[in-house]
């Protein structure tokens, strides 16, 4: 499931391929992929807009279009963008196809169909409630956020209104590096522990972005069809029963808020 480093990778992969191109035609094959407006209106409204730039906010891609429109996309579980020639074969999972002025097609493929797109005048309608960006928040602001919130660490870090961008993989990895149990009460963290978590989280996200994200299954593919490289560097996530790289204790997998959660029972105590 794509998280911040994977979405950032998709944004960077897309920029040289689609910026400056005009959307000459749109086709929607699965109406529910378009969250707003209705699919028919989306097809009519997006036509003729040029793609000016692409940015990211949390796990959302934001295409800045000409004449004040924004196309936002969330990949959710299996969403992926490809830029291909019209004669490249499509399958039943290509739910949205945007024909571009250079003869290529920007295609959104999503086998599980949870991915969504929004065509809006104001991105805040979609991303307005997100918390600060996880890779950018300052240590001072990080401390301040903890002053106002309570609860277990893992659910708190997954909450996009607390911090934007983290998901299951990078929360488990950040907590392993910071030597914090996923069920620690957030309000019980010392300043030193918070600082350790802040540092771990930002280093992991930067390193993951640098290698194109994590591909542990077929769920996440880059625009060029290749996989990311961070799966080689995982320390907790997807390492159930394998020895902790710090102490040798087998990594334990449990369930926290319905999410598979990996940690070292020796290094990460409650």
Active-site positions? 2-3, 59, 259
Region binding Zn ion by CB under 5 A among candidate stretches 67-75, 186-194, 208-216, 256-264: 256-264
- Contacting Zn ion within 205-244 (CB under 5 A): 244
Find the DSSP H helices in 102-190. Answer: 124-127, 139-148, 153-158, 168-178
Is residue 250 near Zn ion by the rule CB under 5 A?
no
Please state the closest distance from residue 93 (CB atom) to Zn ion, in A: 40
Tell me how far, at minimum, the Cβ of 179 lies from Zn ion, in Å.
Answer: 8
E strand or H helix at 43:
helix 39-46
Q: Closest separation between CB of residue 161 and Zn ion, Å?
A: 31
Nearer to Zn ion (CB atom), residue 54 or residue 175? 175
Angle (CA) 36-37-43 rounded to 5° is: 120
Give the separation between CA 227 and CA 238, rounded to whole angstroms. 16
42 Cβ contact partners less than 8 Å away, ≥ 6 residues apart:
26, 28, 34, 117, 119
Q: Which is nearer to Zn ion, 88 or 249 (CB)?
A: 249
Q: Does residue 267 belong to the site contacting Zn ion (CB under 5 A)?
A: yes
Q: 58 is written with which tokens?
A: 């949390």
Please report how close the Cβ of residue 240 comes to Zn ion at its closest, in angstroms.
Answer: 14
Does the footprint of Zn ion cover residue 180 (CB under 5 A)? no
Q: 254 is written with which tokens?
A: 């449990």
- If one asks whether residue 247 binds Zn ion (CB under 5 A), the answer comes out as yes
Residue nearest to Zn ion (CB): 244
Taking CB under 5 A as the criterion, the residue among 47, 69, 90, 246 binding Zn ion is 246
Residue showing tokens 């579980």: 77
Cβ-based neighbours of 3, under 8 Å, separated by 6 or more:
59, 165, 166, 167, 168, 169, 170, 213, 214
* Contact residues for Zn ion, defined by CB under 5 A: 244, 246-247, 249, 264, 266-267
């Amino acid at each position: 499931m794509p998280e911040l480093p994977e979405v950032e990778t998709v944004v960077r992969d897309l920029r040289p391929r689609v910026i400056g191109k005009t959307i000459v035609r749109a086709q929607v094959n699965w109406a529910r992929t378009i969250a707003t407006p209705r699919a028919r209106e989306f097809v009519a409204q997006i036509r003729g807009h040029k793609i000016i730039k692409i940015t990211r906010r949390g796990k959302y891609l934001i295409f800045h279009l000409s004449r004040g429109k924004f196309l936002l996309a969330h990949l959710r579980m299996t969403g992926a963008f490809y830029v291909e020639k019209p004669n490249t074969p499509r399958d039943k999972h290509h739910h949205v196809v945007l024909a571009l002025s250079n003869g290529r097609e920007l295609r959104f493929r999503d086998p599980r169909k949870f991915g969504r797109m929004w065509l809006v005048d104001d991105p805040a309608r979609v991303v307005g409630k997100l918390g600060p960006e996880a890779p950018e928040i300052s240590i001072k602001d990080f401390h301040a956020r903890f002053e106002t919130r309570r609860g277990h660490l893992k659910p708190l870090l997954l909450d996009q209104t607390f911090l934007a961008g983290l998901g299951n993989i990078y929360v488990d990895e950040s907590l392993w590096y910071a030597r914090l149990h996923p069920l620690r009460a957030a309000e019980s963290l010392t300043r030193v522990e918070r600082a350790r978590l802040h540092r771990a989280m930002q280093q992991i996200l930067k390193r993951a972005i640098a290698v194109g994200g994590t591909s542990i299954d077929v769920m996440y593919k880059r625009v060029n069809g290749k996989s990311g490289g961070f799966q080689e560097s995982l320390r907790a996530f997807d390492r159930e029963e394998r020895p902790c790289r710090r102490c040798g204790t087998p990594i334990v997998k449990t369930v926290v808020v319905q999410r598979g959660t990996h940690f070292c029972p020796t290094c990460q105590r409650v």
